[in-house]
Structure 1
Amino acid sequence: MADIELKRLKASEVVLKASRLARLVGHTELTEFLGFERSGYPTDGSARPWIGRSGRWADKEKKTFHTSSIAKVEAQVVSAQQAIDAMRGGGNYSGDNALLASRRHDERILQSSAVFGTWAGICGQVVATVYDMITEIYHELLFSELQASLFADTQERVDGALAAASGTALEKIERISDRLRDGDRESVSQALTTCRRLIDSSADYVFPARDELYKIGDEVDLKVGPQQVLNRLQAHTHACGASKSRRDRLRRTLSDLYARCSAGTHAEVTIGEARFIFLQTYIALGEILTLSAAPEHGDS
């Protein structure tokens, strides 16, 4: 990116360096585009998506375009520039044909300038296209690194919280993972049953069942007995001082997940959906189990 931004490389050099990048990251589209730029464009229509992006249309209506490799395009730029430089000083014309000779000289300069503009424009467009694509790669890699760091930190905290919530919690997660890898219907059903039990054990840990109602504000009284698993988790988030919007989001999420886990026992959940249900359950429970006891700002 810096080489392009600071114009340290010619277009052909940018293409070669970007080709190595494309190979290292396995970027199929960039590899295809740079292959055409290195070797030239075929006329069978296979390169059509890249013709416009590289500024190579000669006449779009007639479907004619410049097929030369980027190295040959650069050679045309140099040739046109040399022709312009050679004619830049003008000529000493005299006699009856002086005006005609001068006009032809100017026409040749204009023609060379037009040729220069065409080829230089292709070089610029190719570099711009490469820059756009490697910028996307850069941001993807940057996000992936950040994402991996966030996931690793979150997983460490969540695993620790789940281990504290239930001595067998992590073993349950391992069983869920194994069953989902099996991929058969019975395994999916068993995995989601285990997932539901994980929610139950987390509720037992953070908010054991009580006979008395739990009061939220002046109007809401929650039953928090042994069967009211979701109510007890909601009571826990309230006791931790989570804002109402956060409590509501977690309540809706866990309610939906609990329902889908129950549906999974009837083999109504696909393998793909089961995997997402497990991941969402893991994340939602992790957020609840790692809530700070300190009250948050916001309504209570």
Structure 2
Amino acid sequence: MGRQEEAIHVADELLTDIELKRLKASEVVLKASRLARLVGHTELTEFLGFERSGYPTDGSAREWVGRAGRWADKEEEKFYTSSIAKIEANAESNQRAIDAMQGGGNYSGDMALVASGNHDKRIINLSKALSTANGVCGQVVATVYDMVTEIYHELLFSALQASLFADTQKLIDGSLAAASGTALDKIERVSDRLRDGDPESVSQALTTCRRLIDSCADYVFPARDEPYAIGAEATLKVGPQQVLNRLQAHTHVCGASKSRRDRLRRTLSDLYERCSAGTHAEVTIGEARFVFLQTYIALGEILTLSPSHDGEP
């Protein structure tokens, strides 16, 4: 199991633990600490650190004091600083004391009324302390639940995204390999240089993008002398120099919708113009990376079109 898969498992299990009340607050904090470590979540790590070790009184944890329901008197800046384990232990101790005092005492004599009153007052005080401790524990668990839920959804989306990208990359790489031969080798070299921030790779990247577009056009729709009819009256010249027209003709042959054809035409037109500029001095490495990636995706979409699938890959 990889780190991300383990994090998803822990998050899912922890949410279930909280929903079914299978863990005490201190146990929730410890299990959430494992998740925070797996995903490197800074905020959750900070919050859980305070809950495990106690809160400082220098004001640095003020936000978490509020989220954990630890204010005793907000105006006077008084709050409960003990760790969640100590607060939980106090709650359990108070509950045992209340249980032991239930049913009242056996009082007699002149001080019976006073003793009975003190007994009741003791139960009331213990109940208030218990309620406060339980409130803090409940709020801490609720805060952990909210943060873990957000992390869980992010992890699921990231896993889905990674799966979609991997599937798409595999599909595109296979199509590019068939269309351009050594194109994938060129892509890997240029991509490495762009990641390294090599300024000299900008011109090479854009030139490679242009050549990829040319070779893909030759592969999916070889040049013809006669125009291609794209509608009842409209035709496209599809000679050797009409690279973009040939790609548009291919999307039409594959039965892609007009809106999809128009989108791909605009995208490739912009990319081809950018890649064919006489000078690349004004193109930054950052822009070159995106031009390169957009070219890869656009060509991948075109190459995976098929006449037998009504324009869908």
SS class of match (2:72): strand
Q: 1:225 to 1:31 in 2, by over 3 A?
A: same
How far 1:134 sits from its partner (Å)?
A: 2.5
Corresponding residue of 1:259: 273
Partner of 1:288: 302
| Match among 34, 50, 57 for residue 48 of structure 2 | 34
What is aligned with 2:198?
184
Partner of 1:156: 170
Shift of 1:50: 1.6
The alignment status of 1:14 with 2:3, answered yes or no, reads no
For 1:107 and 1:217, the matched residues in 2 are separated by 91
Aligned equivalent of 2:142: 128
Give 1:272 shift.
1.9
- Number of residue equivalences: 298
Aligned pair in 2 of structure 1 residues 261, 62: CA closer, same or farther (>3 Å)? farther
2:243: which partner in 1? Answer: 229
Q: Is 2:289 the counterpart of 1:275?
A: yes
8 A contact 2:202–2:280 mirrored in 1: no
Name the SS of the counterpart of 1:58 in structure 2: strand
Instruction: In structure 1, give the amino acid aligned to 2:32.
Output: A
| 2:67 counterpart of 1:59 | no
- Report the residue type matching 1:3 in the other structure: D
Larger displacement relative to structure 2 (88-97 or 62-71): 88-97
**Residues 60-97 of structure 1 deviation map (CA, whole Å, 9 limit, x = unaligned):** 33332211101111022113323432443245678998
**Correspondence 1:117 to 2:126:** no
Call closer, same or farther: CA 1:280–1:297 in 2, change over 3 Å: closer
Cα distance in 1, alignment partners of residues 119 and 262 from structure 2: 79
Aligned to 1:82: 96
CA contact (8 A) 2:305 2:311 kept: no
- Does 176-185 or 125-134 show the bigger shift? 176-185
- 1:138 match: 152
Task: Please say if residues 210 and 224 of structure 1, whose CA atoms lie closer than 8 Å, have aligned partners that are also in contact.
Answer: yes
More displaced 10-residue stretch of structure 1: 68-77 or 42-51: 42-51
Displacement, 1:267? 2.1
SS of aligned partner of 2:200: helix
RMSD of aligned Cα (Å): 2.7
| One of 202, 209, 234 as aligned partner of 2:223 | 209
Which deviates more from structure 2 when the two are superposed, residues 287-296 or residues 118-127?
287-296
- Deviation, structure 1 residue 228: 2.4
Alpha carbons of structure 1 residues 85 and 138: separation in structure 2 relative to 1, 3 Å? same
Relative to the length of structure 2, the TM-score reads 0.84
* Matched letter for residue 260 of structure 2: R
TM-score (norm 1): 0.87
The aligned counterpart of 2:8 is none
Match for residue 68 of structure 1? 82
Identity %: 82
